[in-house]
Amino acid sequence: MIQLIEYALNGALLGLLYALIAMGFVVIYRASKVFNFAQGELVVVGAFLVWFFTLDLGLPLYVGFALALIGAAIFGLIIEPLLFRRLVGQSTFSMVMVTIGLLILLRGLVLVIFGPSVRPFPDLISTAPITFGDITLNRGLAYGGIFTILLAIGVSLYFSRTRPGLRMTVVAEDHQIAQSMGISVRRSIAYAWGMGMVLSTLGAVFYLNGKSVTFLVAEIGFAALPVALLAGLESVGGLIPAGIIVGVAQGLAAGYIDPVVGGSFSAVFPYLVMVIILFLRPSGLFGWRIVERV
């Protein structure tokens, strides 16, 4: 029973990390209706920014971390004028294809600037585990889980209670209508990418704390994909239960199925859960159902 609880709790914490990464998907989608295939690469860029300002430049950890967040926000803001400004009012498909190009571009830039070498990631959080009797939890993931829940509440309130958040939602619905209402589509999309980049950097901190960073870290973006789809791409609050569902499923599969099949079935199991739920509810567990008159 203790082992079962430990697998489930550690899985839930990992799922909340996925939820934090997936929050970048949702924020960008809610503001631009663009599904960002380069989310994993944004995590890599944020991770290398933290490494550069803390370990490479030798700045105090939290000073370097603050500068990395500022750099991440600026990097996100400049994505819009470089790639998306000419696509305002164009089809969603065109903007999605640009994110695939962005994925390839960022991966290439990371390899050119930082190379394929593995770099140490700073310990912004103590690596000592948290123990409750016989149960051991990852401290970084535990802190990250609490932070993700609080952040999800804050971002949900931002989109539902503030004028900038509501303007971003209108932009996602229709660029032409948003412009006719006097809303700056370009500014909203730029803000969304800035927020997505900051969220990706925060996810990198909790994911890589005390580990190493390389361009292969981008795989976390696809690992978080089931959480984003299960929650529904418009639902920030839905990321929390969706992340816990995916994380617990993966944790239990790793503990009980992997030893039996002799492989990493747990890495595939979240996608199986995602397919089953999306088959029953295509809009995700908490996504918006759109009713149109024809």
pLDDT tens-digit profile of 25-55? 888 888 777 788 889 999 999 999 999 999 9
Per-domain residue ranges of the chain: 2-122+130-280
Q: So what's the pLDDT on residue 43?
A: 94
Nearest to 221 by CA among 100, 111, 75: 100
User: What is the dotted CATH code of the domain comprising 2-122+130-280?
Assistant: 1.10.3470
Alpha-carbon gap, residue 183 to 172, rounded angstroms: 11
- What is the reported pLDDT for 81? 82
Check residue 288 and give its pLDDT. Answer: 56
Q: What is the pLDDT of residue 23?
A: 92
pLDDT at 84: 74
* Residue found under tokens 């993700």: 148
Please give the Cα distance from 74 to 196 (Å, whole number).
11
What pLDDT score was predicted for residue 292? 44
Cα–Cα distance, 285 to 269 (Å, whole number): 18
Please tell me whether the overall predicted TM-score, pTM, comes out greater than 0.85 for this model: yes
Q: According to the model, what pLDDT value does residue 293 have?
A: 43
Q: What pLDDT, on the 0 to 100 scale, is given for residue 294?
A: 42
Give the pLDDT score at 88.
Answer: 63
Pairing of strands 135-137, 130-132: antiparallel
- Weakly modelled stretches of the chain, pLDDT under 50: 291-294
Residue 12 contacts residue 251 (beta carbons within 8 Å): yes
What sign for the dihedral angle of Cα 77, 79, 84, 86? positive
Q: Residue 89 has what pLDDT?
A: 63
